[in-house]
Amino acid sequence: NNYFKIAVLPGDGIGPEIISESIKILDVIAEAFQYKFQFDYGLIGAEAIFKTGNPLPDETLKICKESDAVLFGAIGDPAFDNNPEAKVRPEQGLLKLRKELGLFANIRPLKTYASLIEKSPLKREIVEGADIQIFRELVSGIYFGEKFTDPEGAYAYDICKYSREDILPIAHMAFQEAQKRNKKLTLIDKANVLDTSRLWRKICQEIASEYPDVQLDYMFVDNAAMQLIINPKQFDVILTENMFGDIISDEASVIGGSIGLLPSASVGESNALFEPIHGSYPQAKGKGIANPIASILSVAMMLDHLNLHAAANKLRQSVEHAIENKYVTIDLNSKQYYSTSEVGSFIADHI
């Protein structure tokens, strides 16, 4: 099969700019490898609210469900962030999409690039060689539990809930990945305080016997937030719940020197979505300064997911070639830099 339906959701802020570089790349790959990609565009987030009143229009959901993969840009708009009383919010679009597509595992690979190590706020000896894969649970926990705000504004609550079925699939996935890597899995939780964390620990303990070659460790999230900076090389595969994963994986982005480099895959039983881990970065919108690499590397993860490994590898090589030759955006080199589309074209040209 070399015909693929890709749902394309540019979203808010710099989303459209980085996505158009990813499409540029996919066009070149289609040509070079004789694939055919059908791009179906959909509205989501603040853009969708402004145009339809709905952060996830039915049409968008339909396109995504029928796709072989979803390519996602970014979401979020300061008009909503600064208004705690807005009833409809851009992020609801992404959260609903994750839930509807059953994307239970968000996978974030973290590594360092030799030529960029100086960009990290951390010292070279701390980060050099760090290579971590984070598995964040994505469709349960406090994100999706019942929420309530008292109409008088006297109180509010959010419920964090996890069932055995929510935890098992991603736990198995993380163990399996650890088997393929350095055989070390760290569960990050707050089991000294939370019932849900104790359930995570219990289930991981139970299934650990199916993976006797993997060493399973536990770490409290507060300690983990410190250990990730002091000694990131101690980690191989990290498994964690939704909210802790959100915090820990953005934090861990400092290891490689720029959040603008980091891709992610969100996968479920029958759908998959690929997005950079950075946000919509509204201050940069329209300026041509956004780093397209996180989105382009998300395309590489998508190609792997579609079993187009040769193309994925070729694309990663081309990205590394751009980074090594310092053909990068301003976040990676403030002395000599290129625009979003120059970087995208450079990478496309070297495939």
Ligand X SMILES: CC(C)[C@H](C(=O)O)[C@@H](O)C(=O)O
In the complex, minimum distance from the CB of residue 150 to a copy of itself, in angstroms, rounded to a whole number: 9
Question: Quick one: which of 225, 278, 236, 20 has its CA closest to 131?
Answer: 236
In the complex, minimum distance from the CB of residue 237 to a copy of itself, in angstroms, rounded to a whole number: 20
Q: Does 91 interact with ligand X (rule: CB under 6 A)?
A: yes
Place of tokens 């996935």: 173
User: 190 in helix, strand or coil?
Assistant: coil
User: 217 in helix, strand or coil?
Assistant: strand
Contact 19, 25 (CB under 8 A): no
β-pair type (263-267, 105-111): antiparallel
Phi, psi (degrees; rounded to nearest 5) at 219: -145, 135
Q: Does 193 interact with a copy of itself (rule: CB under 8 A)?
A: yes
Count of residues binding ligand X (CB under 6 A)?
9
Question: Is 236 a residue of the active site?
Answer: no
Among residues 190 and 326, whose Cβ is nearest to ligand X?
Answer: 190
Q: What is the DSSP string of 267-286?
A: E-SS-EEEEESS---GGGTT
Among residues 263 and 344, whose Cβ is nearest to a copy of itself?
Answer: 263
The catalytically annotated residue of 143, 162, 211, 327 is 143
Q: Does 246 interact with ligand X (rule: CB under 6 A)?
A: yes
Considering only residues 188 through 207, tell me which ones interact with ligand X, judged by CB under 6 A.
192-193
Structure tokens at 219: 């770490």
The catalytically annotated residue of 40, 131, 217, 250 is 250
Q: Does 198 interact with a copy of itself (rule: CB under 8 A)?
A: yes
Among residues 95 and 238, whose Cβ is nearest to a copy of itself?
Answer: 95
Place of tokens 């603008």: 260
Distance from C-alpha of 256 to C-alpha of 320, rounded to nearest angstrom: 13
Which residue's beta carbon is nearest to the bound ligand X?
91
331 is in an annotated binding site: no
Q: Which of residues 20, 60, 196, 329 is near a copy of itself by CB under 8 A?
A: 196
Residue 173: its H or E element: helix 164-180
Among residues 94 and 272, whose Cβ is nearest to ligand X?
Answer: 94
Place of tokens 């059953």: 102
Question: Is 27 a residue of the active site?
Answer: no
In the complex, minimum distance from the CB of residue 30 to ligand X, in angstroms, rounded to a whole number: 28
Q: Which of residues 36, 164, 287, 309 is near a copy of itself by CB under 8 A?
A: 164
Q: Does 280 interact with a copy of itself (rule: CB under 8 A)?
A: no
Place of tokens 């009833």: 87
Distance from C-alpha of 311 to C-alpha of 161, rounded to nearest angstrom: 40
Question: Quick one: which of 286, 296, 282, 281 has its CA closest to 328?
Answer: 296
Q: Which of residues 190, 321, 326, 350 is near a copy of itself by CB under 8 A?
A: 190
Q: Which of residues 4, 72, 80, 135 is near a copy of itself by CB under 8 A?
A: 80
Among residues 254 and 306, whose Cβ is nearest to a copy of itself?
Answer: 254
Distance from C-alpha of 259 to C-alpha of 233, rounded to nearest angstrom: 18
Point out the residues that are catalytic: 143, 190, 222, 246, 250
Task: Enumerate binding residues for ligand X (CB under 6 A).
Answer: 75-76, 91, 94-95, 192-193, 222, 246
